Amino acid sequence: MKLGNLNINNVKLGNTQIQKAYLGNNLVWEYFNKISNSDGVYSYTKLNQNYLGNCVRIRNEFNNNEQDFGFSGDTVDINAIKTFLGKNQIPYSEDFTHASWNYISNITRTANVAIDPLSGSTADKLIPTSNGNYIGVNNTVSPQIKGKEITISVYAKAGEMDEIWVGGIFGNEASRFNLTSGTIVSDGSNVTSSSIENISNGWYRCIVTYIFQNTIGNNYLYTGFRVATSSANGSDGLFVWGAQLEVDGLTAYQSTNGSRYGVGRIVKMYDQSKKNLIEVSEPTSTIGLAGNVTYESFSGWTGLPFTNCVRFNDGSTSRFIYNGNVGVQGQPLTYSFYIIMDDLSEPQIGEPNDSNADFIIFNSLNNNTSRPTSTKTDLGNGVWRIEAYRSNWEYGNTGIVKYNTQSPKGFRVTGFQCEVGSTATTYQQTKGAFKQTTANSQPYLVWDNDDNCYSGFFAHDLRLLNYSGLTGTTGYTIYNEVLNNQTTTSSAKGIVTIFGGVIGDVNYLSRHRVSSTNLILTETRFGGSITSAISSPTSSFNLNVINKIASTFQTDNVKSYLNGVSSGSDISAGVTNSSNIILGAFNLTTEPFNGFIKETIIYTEPKNNDFLETITT
């Protein structure tokens, strides 16, 4: 393996040989590694067979629908995910009076005053009050970097005025269109292509692709429209409808009304061959919504392979609910679990406020929702298996609730299982599908409309590099639940080393601090000219040696600050300690990484093909 002109051989993490190094938009523990974008297929690295499987479940943030995408070997068709997620990054594409059109000067907007291209009445009018007018989106939610290709389009129609600028508001990023003749008047110097399509009834679709110049330097897309005029009078204008912002070329128009298309989140990864959709079938801690329950090690159920259980206590409302999807909305699903009453009586399933019932089974948190059809089987020795079936399983919560108006008896529950079909089959223990949480959310940007596939806040998510919470000494903490058997001590038991870059010429420092449940910490610093005066707080990371990575990644070389390599020095010269270059001088043991890390990935600018070719395996 070679990095620039430097040979790197026999690099290990713990007892695991690092097999590959990639250059591009990836992380050490990124799950979609960008091997090729020519055919839309991305590689999938199985970092831990105990957690990851052959399927990824994606949630569409536009409509909250979810869909499973299977892997063939170790690849997944990213085009299928793109089709599922859609593309338009403008949240209110037909309402130019909405506050999301947040970059406005010298222009008034009147909603729903003209017939739109679909024969509705939703076209808006733009009326310049001064010649220096514009309306646009300061797209801070999904910023880009200098050099990215942006496509923006809008349907426009002449009014009293008939020329419109479309594209970036700064940096010669726009084209001028005449809506009477249906022609392109001129292109800015940074426009790569422009076109105008005659729709009907005087409507044209004006399309501009330009190279983002990042004139202001904060990576935000100031993009939109200007009425091309030198005679603004506050009453004359033109009509617009159906704006669309994309980052990988023009596609069919997608209407939005409150949410962007093109953003999805990884809900979980799991093995499709495993029938049990419950992530942890014998919980030892809260998963979802719980109250007045305890978690116990269990023994004594002769012949049944359980180790842990949830105890529902006497005389109080108790609940244990898997908050979120355990199946797919609309599927026929069967939910089952094993239960033993404290007094060894037969468990009674009921409704809320039923004093004769011991508990109810939830398919949602709505008390008025009809319960799934339930049955129970006596397994002897006080053990019962309860199963509940619905032909159209609801999108929501699945679990058990014991109300304080019901029987005061307590009980223990374990062996949770949810599976496709109408009958509970042989119990299959699960110990956790791979997932992460950040402040109880699921921050997994799967596809950012930039023809790149990212995997969450811990991936190279350009939105977060400009998030104010990333600056300063605190940074942004990201939790990863994969290595759940590790302990944090003064000497590192394990480390995930992340290399960063691809930030263009941003001239400020953002700290990307990575934390993990019971796992040691490291950090990556991004951007600007980083000098040796900037150091990492050792106490924050519990490392023997802090691995500092801070650089401006350029086209022809990599400049870094790495364990004594001066800022601005070419990493390919004068460095002999290749292990420290890749890993840092950390106190590693073999157990935490047995079978875990297979790849180390280093960043540079994504279009730097010459440098890419210098990395070989």
Q: Are 278 and 418 in contact (CB under 8 A)?
A: yes
- State how many domains the chain has: 3
Average pLDDT value for residue range 402-415: 89
Reduced 3-state DSSP string for 211-248: ECCCCCCCCCEEEEEEECCCCCCCCCCEEEEEEEEECC
Summarize the confidence of residues 208-224 as an average pLDDT.
Answer: 81
Which residues have C-beta within 8 Å of that of residue 120, sequence separation ≥ 6? none
Q: Range with the lowest mean pLDDT among 28-42, 186-200, 424-438?
A: 28-42
pLDDT at 225 over 50: yes
Concatenating the DSSP letter of every residue in 479-534 gives ---S-TT----SS-S----------TT--S-EEEEEEETTEEEEEEEESS---TT-
Enter the pTM of the model.
Answer: 0.42
> Tokens for 464?
């977060």
Asked whether residue 293 falls in the same domain as residue 213, the answer is no
Do residues 236 and 281 both lie within one domain?
Answer: no
Residue 388 scores a pLDDT above 50 = yes
pLDDT at 538: 28
375 belongs to a structural domain: yes
* Per-residue confidence (pLDDT) for residue 284, from 0 to 100: 83
Do residues 362 and 502 share a domain?
no
Residue 285 is predicted with a pLDDT of: 81
Q: Cα–Cα distance between 89 and 462 in angstroms, integer?
A: 15
Residues 282 and 376 in one domain: yes
Of 508, 557, 564, nearest to 532 (Cα)? Answer: 564
pLDDT in the model for residue 561: 27
Phi/psi at 419 (nearest 5 deg)? -145, 155
Asked if 210 and 330 sit in the same domain, the reply is no
Query: Hey, how many other C-beta atoms are within 10 angstroms of the C-beta on 115?
Result: 16
Distances (CA, A) of 402 to 340, 375, 415, 443: 14, 18, 18, 32
Asked which of 396, 420, 444 is the last residue of a domain, the reply is 420
463 and 610 belong to one structural domain: yes
In a domain, 86, yes or no: no
Residue 607 lies in a domain: yes
Do 287 and 201 fall into the same domain? no
Q: How confident is the model at residue 277 (pLDDT cuts 50, 70, 90)?
A: confident
> CA separation (Å) from 360 to 87, 198, 340, 387, 447?
42, 61, 15, 12, 40
Contact between residue 264 and residue 68 where contact means Cβ atoms under 8 Å apart = no
Distance between CA 388 and CA 412 in Å, rounded? 18
List the beta bridge partners of residue 318.
Answer: 402
Residues in the chain: 617
CATH code at 403? 2.60.120
- Residue 266 confidence (pLDDT): 59
292/344 same-domain check: yes
Kindly tell me the number of DSSP H helices and DSSP E strands found in the chain: 5, 38
Q: Does a structural domain hold residue 117?
A: yes
The pLDDT of residue 193 is 96
Averaged pLDDT for residues 165-175: 91
For the segment 78-135, what is each residue's pLDDT rounded down to a tens digit? 667 767 776 787 889 999 999 989 889 999 999 999 999 999 999 999 999 999 899 9
pLDDT confidence of residue 325: 53
- C-alpha 197/C-alpha 439 separation (Å) is 46
Please check whether residue 24 lies inside any domain of the structure: yes
Same domain, 466 and 557: yes
* Structural domain ending residue among the three candidates 401, 420, 439: 420
Residue 269's φ and ψ, nearest 5 degrees, are -120, 140
Name the residue range of residue 197's domain.
103-246
In whole angstroms, give the CA distance from residue 499 to residue 523.
9
How far is it, in rounded angstroms, from Cα 208 to Cα 190? 10
280 and 233 assigned to the same domain: no
Q: What is the pLDDT of residues 44-57, one digit of tens each?
A: 332 233 334 556 67
pLDDT at 162: 96
Q: Is 231 within a domain?
A: yes
CA distances from 160 to 137, 206, 233, 238 (A): 25, 18, 11, 6
Same domain for 117 and 186: yes
Chain segment 230-269, per-residue pLDDT in tens: 899 999 999 999 999 886 678 888 888 876 666 666 566 5
Do 233 and 186 belong to one domain? Answer: yes
Four-CA torsion 10, 15, 21, 26, nearest 10 degrees: -160
Domain final residue, candidates 420, 449, 478: 420
